[in-house]
Amino acid sequence: MRKTILLATAATCFYSLPVYADDSGTVFDLGEVSTTAPASGGTEIGGSTVTQDDMQEFHRDTLDKAVQLVPGTSLSAVGARNETDIWIRGFDRWRLRLSQDGIPIYLPADNRIDFSQFTTGDISEIQVTKGFTSVIDGPGAMGGSVNLVSRQVTKPFEADVRVGSSFDADGAFNGFVSDAFAGSRQQNWYFQGAVTENYQNHYRLADGFQPGTFENGGNRDNSYHQDYKLNFKVGYVPDALDEYSLNVISQIGHKDNPLPDSLVPASGSSAPKDWTWPAWDKQSLYWLSNTALDDIGSYVKVRAYGDRFYNALSSFDNANFSSQSSPKSFDSRYNDYALGGNVEYSQMLLGGQDDVKTALHYRWDQHNAWEATNAKSGGPWYSQPWLRDEENTYSAAIENTYHPVRSWDVITGVSYDYRQMLQAEDWETYSTVPASGPYGYVLHYPVSDNHAVNPELAVVYHYSASGAVHASVSERTRFPTLFEMFSSRFGTVVGNAYLQPEKSDNFETGISQQFGDSKVGVNLFHSRIMNAIDQVPVTIAGYGTTTQNQNVGSEEHDGFELEGKTLLSPTLILGGNYAYLERQITNHVAVATDTPKHKLFAYLNWMPIAELSVVPSVELDSKRWMTSAANSYYYLRSGDCALANLKVSYQLSDALSIDVGANNLFDENYVVEDGYNAEGRNFFTDLRMKF
């Protein structure tokens, strides 16, 4: 069976393709972060922006798919948990920072963010940094960052409604995505709301799939998911320079978990996780403000927020989800809270020639975990007490952007990050389970604090009105998660309370140039990761031979990105990009998995008449290493992949448009993780109404 992987990227960094819906992604300025040098042209230092127009043009309804429009990114899956992960130049979700309107999205237990559960209907743009990320925006971002910027109403009355359906290769209905955005902007205030539902009852495997131990092909078992998102805002705009906004976002999700679809040996038949997630919910309430201090750009920004994350996971004895009588069965709950905020102060000096920014960040996280399970096969269920972990994170940063002349930006900065661990608990089960409780005890781990210093330097030279060259170097730090330090992973791992932060040194240089109706760009990068966290075998008294997370690894990431776009004729646009990535683990016996070495995307946008747009595209992805689904100590090599997609849009009237299209036109059989073949040929339709 040929093993391949999905890739979907497009050149969106230069200028957006035309769409017919005006003002579909008006940017919420308060939600943007400091990804650019504030010189003429606002050059991004290796970063990219995906607009709402881009997301509509390429039919990207969820964050994982939308981010793939950025060169240097890739997609992988965590099939055993039915999660989607994104990678930026070889850095995964643990080494990236995700935020919404500048408010960090962080899960304190393990930060295992499922990017496919974030819908994009309410998003005006996605800001992506790669390597260099401003220290002003807060801690983390070891390899880059992703910031979701909300849409913003601009008219006295504005509404945008979309109803979309999806179909499998046999034409059977298998889901829908519906969203609505509406609001009103008056002279000094605005209010708005956005609602999205993303539903899938199944997806269908490609016809070339070969049946495995738990999956016989056709409709993929346990591939259901349903996600809701609500985004409400009210704001006050007293003048052209000041703005104040109160925001509420609520996400509600449910999902099943497909079992491995490959051949599983009899010795591993009990290993697959018969899991379901009855709840994957996140709520956020936050305040954003910008107060101008003068008329040349000085300001004070304030962000304050409160978050809650609720997660319910149930494990069963079998794939029918009908029994919970064995020790592998359990019901688990996470109930996490966070409070935090930051103050950013910018002072323009020398008449705007010099910009000095300072920022203070604070975040408090509390992770609460509960589990009910069997003590032994057929035995009584018991409930563990609620366990609590608690931590504070602080960051102080200063950044200076100096323009010795208009064509030069010189950016220097440094931040100090401090993580204070307040409490860490786990449940230790007795080695000999008694006939009746107690079945274990609460283990209080020793706590330790971590700190880090993160310097940065970048230079941008605008050698002409249509071209610029940049170079940057930065060092960033990631604090280990509670999961990495303390999780026993069902008794298979020993905790390490003294796990140290990972560090990365990021180097980059690049150039962009526009030639009439064409634009090209090149970025070269190198990253070195130190103190990388990995699981290693250890022998510990009382535990015997087991594994433990330790700072034992280092990695080297090298590569380059090419991208271009040109207007071949008044009705035809050609675009594409290519990315090369070489990852090497240099001082630890392991293989760098989940990222391809070569990625290529090419597309045409043909507009034979003003109302019609036809966008065919081809996606090429090279081999990658994957961890075996049957044995995590074995590695497998995927195959190359070539996918073809098509989207056709027609403007029926000023207020009504329709999209139809297909992904994986030739029904390619491919995998994003060993044992988890991806969706075969599929179709979609969208009807959009705009007022």
Residue 483 lies in a domain: yes
Spatial distance between the Cα atoms of 378 and 381, rounded to a whole number of angstroms: 9
Residues listed for the chain: 691
305-360: pLDDT as tens digits: 999 999 999 999 888 888 888 888 899 999 999 999 999 999 999 999 999 999 99
Q: What is the CATH number of the domain that holds 407?
A: 2.40.170.20
Nearest to 364 by CA among 292, 410, 420: 420
556: nearest Cα among 588, 590, 523, 582: 582
Give start and end residues of each alpha helix (H) in 512-635: none
Span 271-286, average pLDDT: 92
- Is 255 within a domain? yes
Lowest mean pLDDT among 20-24, 453-457, 563-567: 20-24
Quote the distance between the C-alpha of residue 164 and its chain's center.
23
- What is residue 374's predicted lDDT score, i.e. its pLDDT? 81
Q: Which domain holds residue 681?
A: 29-260+271-690
Segment 158-162 long-range contacts (CB within 8 Å, at least 24 positions apart): 158/23, 158/182, 158/183, 158/184, 158/185, 158/192, 158/691, 159/689, 159/690, 159/691, 160/21, 160/24, 160/688, 160/689, 160/690, 160/691, 161/688, 161/689, 161/690, 162/121, 162/686, 162/687, 162/688, 162/689
- Cα separation, 649 vs 618, in Å, equals 18
Name residue 422's amino acid.
L
What is 494-517 written as a DSSP string?
Answer: E--TTPPPEEEEEEEEEEEEEETT
| Domain annotation covers residue 180 | yes
pLDDT digits over 327-337, tens only? 888 999 999 99
What's the chain's average pLDDT? 89
| Residue 145: predicted pLDDT | 95
Question: Domain for residue 266, yes or no?
Answer: no
Q: How many domains does the chain have?
A: 1
The residue ranges of DSSP E strands in 89-224, in sequence order, are: 97-100, 103-104, 123-130, 144-150, 158-168, 173-185, 189-200
Token digits of residue 368: 């609460």
**How do residues 136-179 score in pLDDT, each as one tens digit?**
999 999 999 999 999 999 999 999 999 999 999 999 999 999 99
Q: Which among 153, 184, 161, 147 is positioned nearest to 25, based on CA atoms? A: 153
- Can you point out the beta strands (E) in 237-292? 243-256, 275-292
Share of the chain above pLDDT 70, in %: 91
The answer to whether position 6 is within a domain reads no
Range with the lowest mean pLDDT among 38-47, 275-284, 336-345, 383-392? 38-47
pLDDT in tens, 199-228: 999 999 999 999 999 999 999 999 999 999
Whole-prediction pTM value? 0.93
576-590 pLDDT, tens digit each: 999 999 999 887 777
Pairing of strands 544-569, 493-494: parallel
29 SS3 class: helix
Does residue 609 lie in a domain region?
A: yes
Q: Quick one: pLDDT at residue 40? A: 36
The residues facing 288 across adjacent strands are 245, 303
400 within domain boundaries: yes
544 pLDDT band (50/70/90 cuts)? Answer: low
311-350: buried (b, 16+ CB within 10 Å) or exposed (e) per residue?
A: bbbbbbbeeebeebebbbbbbbbbebbbebbbebbbebee
Given a cut of 90, whether residue 546 has pLDDT beyond it is: no
- Give the per-residue pLDDT at 428: 82
| Residue where the block lists tokens 């150039």 | 511
Mean pLDDT of 97-118: 94
* Domain-located, residue 661: yes
In the prediction, which pLDDT does 10 show? 31
Better-predicted residue by pLDDT, 287 or 544: 287
> Could you tell me if 333 and 315 are in contact, meaning their C-beta atoms sit under 8 angstroms apart?
no
